[in-house]
Amino acid sequence: VTAYEVILRKRQGEELTPNEIEFMVRGFLSGAVADYQMSAFLMAVFFTGMSDAETETLTRVMLGTGSTLDLSEVSGAKVDKHSTGGVGDKLSLVVAPIAASAGVRVPMISGRGLGHTGGTLDKLESIPGFSTSVPPEEFLRLVSDVGMAIVGQSPEMAPADRRMYALRDVTATIECPPLIVGSILSKKLAAGLDALVLDVKVGRGAFARDIESARDLAARLKRIAERLGLPTTALLTDMESPLGRAVGNALEVGEALAVLKGGGPQEVRELSLALAARMILMAGLAPDVEGAARLAERELDRGAALEKFAEFVGAQGGDPRIVDDPDLLPSGTVVEEVRAERAGFVAGIDAREVGLAAVALGAGRTAVGDRVDPAVGIEILRAVADEVAEGDVVALVRGNDSGRAEVARTRVRAAFSISGEPVGRPARILEVLE
Amino acid sequence: VTAYEVILRKRQGEELTPNEIEFMVRGFLSGAVADYQMSAFLMAVFFTGMSDAETETLTRVMLGTGSTLDLSEVSGAKVDKHSTGGVGDKLSLVVAPIAASAGVRVPMISGRGLGHTGGTLDKLESIPGFSTSVPPEEFLRLVSDVGMAIVGQSPEMAPADRRMYALRDVTATIECPPLIVGSILSKKLAAGLDALVLDVKVGRGAFARDIESARDLAARLKRIAERLGLPTTALLTDMESPLGRAVGNALEVGEALAVLKGGGPQEVRELSLALAARMILMAGLAPDVEGAARLAERELDRGAALEKFAEFVGAQGGDPRIVDDPDLLPSGTVVEEVRAERAGFVAGIDAREVGLAAVALGAGRTAVGDRVDPAVGIEILRAVADEVAEGDVVALVRGNDSGRAEVARTRVRAAFSISGEPVGRPARILEVLE
């Protein structure tokens, strides 16, 4: 096997053998396959795709390049939730404590924001003292003792994914379903899970812009995960507009806390409960989805999930006082108002534009290694379907630099579209693949 | 502009601006665009193509990365002939002396064999003493004094092409029409030509396997060349079976000499005359193609082209005695006979397989930098349409190693297909684009 032959075969749309896929991935790590060959290969995959058999092999080989956590000593079912990425998506911060307080073990490996989407690790790090770099043995202890932990990918887990992702990120091959599947599942399998709940986002703020491509991605993820022995449920959820009202790291922690306390935006509460219920169901802690939903709601409403969150924050070194006093979270000093340009009804808020506005403020990254400002972000005051008068403040931009805040304000204003006719409130949960 | 954005736009099939194309090519040379980004970009071009405007810009930018020969001091019209590559294609060795002896100035920049196709430089270097590395000022002097020179690409000419070609060669992006156009024309334009005659090969031994893709390539080359001020005529010629009877470096020089002496395979003679006539016509040395054909035939038949070839060989340091005594050319010591497996008519000889057999013998390269053995090759004794009895010797394999010769013999035997029915002799010239 040579890299040239494998690239050529994939360029011609042929199905690769397991041996060829293993050669490319392991060769890339060892140096036998040059990075310029890998990037050409990945672009060929972008255009000609991969069969399920190829994607399964890719995932298995990527997984095999690193170590797998052994969670067998942790009692109970280990279930994670994974989102394909969106704007204002603070669901992990609500879902994980609900599920953990219901008895699910949640060993969550999360990522950082890149492009217009946020990352759970960045959000958590806005909590003073919180650490997302946790060695494997400590991670196991947290999952066992607290019932949940949220950490970054360790260097030992699927190193091929880190190298390949970094290459894809600079060669425009991120948006490729089989490569997304390999990347997500190799990490999830390395975490030693028993089951997985996927939140596949759909819309202009998501990788999958339309329902067809989201269905394709969700179905692929589910098929390949199950070929690899990982039972998976996938929810397709709307990401046309930002989820909830807060976009930005500390602001989103604040909104998650509000939901954990029984308040916050209704859509964040509902989607959190739905995802937590699926985790509870897959962990075998309820006989059916209705029972799981009742259990999730009970854990949220009796304050157990909030307590679990506080315990989790403290266990990972964060200041648990933020739970009672969210003002301890950092906050931007420059506040700009975004006003409605006409009277009517909010017809849409472009999630992608709001995400890019947050990046412009410093809440996200334009390159790997960029520092994020935990304090900055956007507060949406009028959501889709809300009625507005001309000049009403529809959003606040919270920054730490007036120039960047002004750029963000312009972007957020452009993200709002206002209609003369009343607009229905869109559903967030579009489809469920069980 | 960033490399990421340009790759993304090309991946999405968008038309790039001149600025973006210049950024990629010059950035690649300067290091601002990483080789892994360039290879991903080239693969995206493979799949989404380039418009004529983009291809023109690519060619112009590649040309601009190096120096252009100034042939203005050389009197007369400077015309080159370029082939897209085939098996047994020794036409340059016949065409250039005919055209030069008719008064055309032929500043020919040639290439080396790679893959299953041969290269004119390798053929010429089978002549003892012959040098294809000639500094620009010496090249000018040869074109002026002798009327022709055949040399390799100098490091100063279109350096972007050399770097990009080397990358394409190891990332399976050679077979891409706009990139082929940029590569060929940037070099041809750097040679300061007045006109160009293209021999676009069609068939299993060529890049263009079918007439449609050959027409597309020929028409693209002609359109872009003329946008860049280089009048171009393209012939589409058959490369299903090897051209002539000899495949291998010294063997092909021998066949070219036979044709220059008035003998040799009829198809090599006819195709050489047709190409030389086009060069003569484009140089303005004949009023029409019929007059140009008569002039070419006269130069060949009166021995002037043979004399020109001897003068050219001597001027580039080669031993001109090979003209009278071709036995001075190196010759393989191991001879294997390929016999017909059944009686009938030769229906086809797979040019690609014969080319690969020659590579197996050592006549070609499997990697840049491989040394070629000038002495080895294949002699075809029965051509397409010839009748054969079972056991007739249809080809000879001339090698310097019995193991490699045996491999080549098996390949050559498999390349022959024999039919029970009589087979017509195929035409070599399929179409002409003027």
Per-residue pLDDT reduced to its tens digit, B307-365: 999 999 999 999 999 999 999 999 999 999 999 999 999 999 999 999 999 999 999 88
Q: How confident is the model at residue A34 (pLDDT cuts 50, 70, 90)?
A: very high
CB within 8 Å: B36 and A7: no
Higher pLDDT, A162 or B259: B259
Question: Which residues of B are less than 8 Å from A36 in CB distance?
Answer: 34-36, 38-39, 167, 170-171
Q: Is the pLDDT of residue A250 over 80?
A: yes
Provide the CA B97 distance to its chain's centre, in angstroms: 16
Instruction: Express each pLDDT in A278-305 by its tens digit.
Output: 999 999 999 999 999 999 999 999 999 9
Check: complex ipTM more than 0.85: yes
Share of chain B above pLDDT 90, in %: 90
Task: Report, as an integer, the average pLDDT of A317-329.
Answer: 96
The span from the CA of B397 to the CA of A226, in Å, is 56
Higher pLDDT, A147 or A68: A147
Least CA distance to B170: which residue of chain A?
Answer: A4
pLDDT at A366: 74
Instruction: Express each pLDDT in B229-287 by its tens digit.
Output: 999 999 999 999 999 999 999 999 999 999 999 999 999 999 999 999 999 999 999 99
Instruction: Express each pLDDT in B27-36 by its tens digit.
Output: 999 999 999 9
Interface of B with A (CB under 8 A): 3-4, 7-8, 11, 34-40, 42-44, 46-47, 167, 170-173
CB within 8 Å: A167 and B36: yes
pLDDT at A46: 98
Instruction: Express each pLDDT in A175-221 by its tens digit.
Output: 999 999 999 999 999 988 999 999 999 999 998 999 999 999 999 99
Active-site amino acid positions of A: 82, 161, 168, 183, 187
pLDDT at B369: 74
Report residue B214: phi and psi, to 5°: -65, -45
Looking at the complex, report in whole angstroms how far the Cα of residue A110 sits from the nearest Cα belonging to chain B: 25
Mutate to test the interface with A, among B36, B46, B163 (most CBs of A within 10 A): B36
Q: Is the pLDDT of residue A112 over 90?
A: no
Q: How confident is the model at residue A8 (pLDDT cuts 50, 70, 90)?
A: very high
Q: Is the pLDDT of residue B115 over 80?
A: no
Q: Is the pLDDT of residue A410 over 70?
A: yes
Looking at the complex, report in whole angstroms how far the Cα of residue B202 sits from the nearest Cα belonging to chain A: 20
CB within 8 Å: A39 and B42: no
**pTM strictly above 0.95:** no
pLDDT at A116: 82
Task: Report, as an integer, the average pLDDT of A222-241.
Answer: 97
Q: How confident is the model at residue A368 (pLDDT cuts 50, 70, 90)?
A: low
Average pLDDT over chain B, rounded to whole?
95
Task: Report, as an integer, the average pLDDT of A337-366.
Answer: 95
CB within 8 Å: B4 and A37: no
Mutate to test the interface with A, among B1, B171, B174, B209 (most CBs of A within 10 A): B171
Question: Which residues of A are less than 8 Å from B37 in CB distance?
Answer: 39, 170-171
